[in-house]
Structure 1
Amino acid sequence: MATLSILHFSLQKILITVNTIFLLSSSLPSASAITPFKKIYAFGDSFTDTGNTGSLTGPTGFVHVSNPPYGTTFFHHPTNRYSDGRLVIDFVAQSLSLPFLPPYRKSKGNTTYGVNFAVAGSTAINHAFFAKNNLSLDITPESIQTQLIWFDKYLESQGCKGPESGPECKEGLDDALFWIGEIGVNDYAYTLGSTVSDDTIRKLAIYSLTEFLQSLLKKGAKYVVVQALPTTGCLPLAMTLAPSDDRDDIGCVKSVNNQSYTHNLVLQAKLSDLRQQFPQAVIAYADYWNAYRTVMKNPEKYGFKESFKACCGTGDPYNFDVFNTCGTPSVTACSNPSEHINWDGVHLTEAMYKVVADMFLNGNLSNPPFKSLLERKQQKP
């Protein structure tokens, strides 16, 4: 028995060592890999945030992201990502043989391969709008404009400011992929039950995002991917709050999905205008709405057994309670997150993020296709 115990202990040490090596190699660029991009700059909300917020600074309702079981699938500990593992942006980085992006607030100068400015709870519309309408109680004050300010400060820290900037600054932007994660879902969510109309939110959010994109493009961004809003009516939060007769053909909340769909139509029109204004840039639209919808229509094809219930949560019928969310001591996670689309009632599992990332990077849900963006970059001297 002693010999077996020693053998078991030795095997455990080997497995831990192998796993550690795998984790390190997964987060670092491959020496033999050739990637057209030297760095990534990411923006967005909790679907893209790799650690700019934590339990003390995150959005109300999800104030336990620094606690287990967040991060259990890949990192095996909480990383302040709102998932059990990696996000779309993590899979984007890995596909380009680049390391995981450090969050801006915790980068500590380690920005050789890019920075992530995304903030959980962030809005497209400036925070002042919500304060003016008495909608700012306990919501994240950062917006996409905040992230632009951070980006400007980052550029200044790199010696890139105004016309006196050297050629290395232009080169740094030329060699960067700008990944704009979905932004705008929180804007609609924060005005739920108020007198502010969807039309008002859509107009202001799209205007703000367009100005943000124009600023990046004027600075010299050449390769930009902009994610659409997902089918937010399929999230357990929406399913819990909406009446049972408000459903669409895939069983999700019809009114909320229509809200996101209409938003995305306007966004696509604005991106088309930007392509004409900045013909030197490649601006790709990542169709999150149809990616999510495609999985919902045939979840088994992608390995999912549970489409609606959150993996980590409590309560019927969607395993979600807005007052008792994932990370609290009384809440447990399912044993098989990879079989669930949703992780905690709002955010997705690593398995779902991986499927969506693959659709963007290798499928036909990026317009123009991501591969053509890579080819365009490789053709540039």
Structure 2
Amino acid sequence: MQRRWDIFCTVVDNFGDIGVCWRLAKQLTQDHNQMVRLWVDDLRCFSCIAPDVNPEIQQQNVQAVEICQWQKAFPEVEPADVVIEAFACELPDIYIAAMARKNKQPVWINLDYLSAEPWVAQYHRLPSPHPRFPLTKTFFFPGFVPGTGGLLREKNLLAQREVFDIAAEQAFLDQKGLYERRSGEIRIALFCYDTAPVENLIGLLSESSSPVLLIVPQGRVADRIAAILSHVASPNESLIKHQQLTVQIIPFMAQNDYDRLLWSCDINFVRGEDSFVRAQWASNPFIWNIYPQAEGAHWKKLEAFLDLYTVGMPPEMATAVREMWFCWNGGKALNAPAWVNFLALRESLMQHNKEWVKQLLEQDDLVSGLVQFVENQL
């Protein structure tokens, strides 16, 4: 049944929160025929990953989703049947009061952050009554195992991945103006936080035994790389060559194109939540830069995922993956043995990742689970 959904999103770390919310909104409309209004507080940042969004327009319709600028002076609007508070952002007081006045209580969901920690299954779908209004909010946790909310995965995603062959890859690379693959080249996509040891990585890739193409989106990390290689590059150059390494700096891509970039690369460095999940569906070897938290809370989340992900790996592969991920997240200095050992496992990791995807497919995708939950409530 078609319902009206309001999704509220504050842009916290540039692209992670809005990346998840935009995929969620599109999948609700395209796969489940729902009506979606997406409230976002930073349309300029949003437009980097959704080029059709005009940051100057406060209300617009893009890909069948109504997009509204979420401003401090929030308008009086009719609340939707389903209200999603993404990642613990706080709904406007005027909107909560309007929810309380409705004859039928909306389904109010706090869509929380993704984690592999064991407690997630216990807290998934727990209700939380509002202290002042006759409203109940339900916590919905994405996750990697049955008993959690699952992961974002469009109905046709894996079928599209399956038919993405060499010809489709070449057509995509040509369309995006990406550098032509050289013989024996290792193609790497780099998306990371400022805390990642980029200087060490550039040093290792420059001295690689094989040619390397490093594809980096515009931004602070790309600026850092340009500064590191300033002795061989002019300030505005999008293609920088140094020894075995070629760096190509590219504009941000729409989400469907970013998926294809991940499918086209031999190794994907990803960060946060959205690109992390998309790298898993891509099946190519990936390295996760987890969002750094106060007092090192992110290490537990990293370890929890690795504990799940490395099950079934031969011990030497599991050790190499843990070592590389540990170094990339600042646990110790990124060094040549960690990188070389990880690189040597590329083929084996791709096979492991295909099995990992099969395991993830044993649970419903996040949006299907949300829609089913809502129907059971209404």
Same fold (TM over 0.5): no
TM tier, shorter chain? under 0.3
| Higher relative contact order structure (alpha carbons within 8 Å, sequence separation ≥ 6) | 1
TM-score, L = length of structure 1: 0.27
TM-score, L = length of structure 2: 0.27
